[in-house]
Structure formats: structure tokens, C-alpha cells
Amino acid sequence: MEEGLVLFSVSMFPIGSSDDLSQPVAEVVDEIGKAHLPYRVSAMDTVIEGDWDTVMPVLRKAYRRMAAAHDRVYVTITMDEHRGGTARLDGAVEDVSRQLGHPVPA
């Protein structure tokens, strides 16, 4: 079976520690950045592009980093594999912009 590029939508944050989640979320983004993976951060999630074997160890490391500092960690991961696809992180947004006839706000 041919593996394609996967878009991973990830939300990871501690529960019950504080209303300000920017510091723990920044630590997750730091782990993704250290792995040199293409990614985009939004107010609700981080989308990472890569393959399963590259991305999942990074997410595990980010989770362990957060779990070491917090008793409860909430994680959601949604995946979209596009076999034979290329560069979907920006390409999917560009496709929607093309349909709309104008850029989609980032």
C-alpha cells in the first residue's frame, strides 16, 4: 500500500491548570518546530504535514513533555491521508481560495 502525505490536525492542552494555555501549547509547537515539520498554528489547532512514521513520534514527545508538567492532558488528532498527494498544507487552502475567487484569511 502506497503511503501518501498526511495532514494531522492536533489539539493538545492541559486541563485544570490555568485559563492561559499559551505556554503549554507553545511547548507543543516547539517540539513540532524542532522536528522541522511543515505546520500552521490556528486558534484551535495545529496542522502538521508529513507521514505517520515521522509525525507520530513528535506528537508522542510533545505529549510526554506536557504530561510531565500536568496531571491531565487533553489531545485530539484528526488525520487526512491523501495518497499520491503533494504539499496539501498550503494546497488545500489555495484550492478553496481559487473557488472563492479571493484569498482566504490566514
CA-wise closest residue to 27 among 12, 45, 9, 42: 12
Q: pLDDT band for position 94 (50/70/90)? A: confident
CATH 3.40.1280.10 fits 5-100, yes or no: no
Q: How many residues does the chain have?
A: 106
Q: pTM of the entire structure? A: 0.85
Residue 19: which residues within 8 A CB-CB, separation 6 or more? none
Angle between helices 22-34 and 52-69 (to 10 degrees): 150
Query: Poorest-confidence range of 14-18, 31-35, 43-47?
Result: 14-18
What's the rounded Cα separation, in Å, for the pair 42 and 64? Answer: 22
Average pLDDT over residues 37-66: 95
The domains of the chain are located at 5-100
Looking at the predicted structure, is the pLDDT value of residue 2 above 60? no
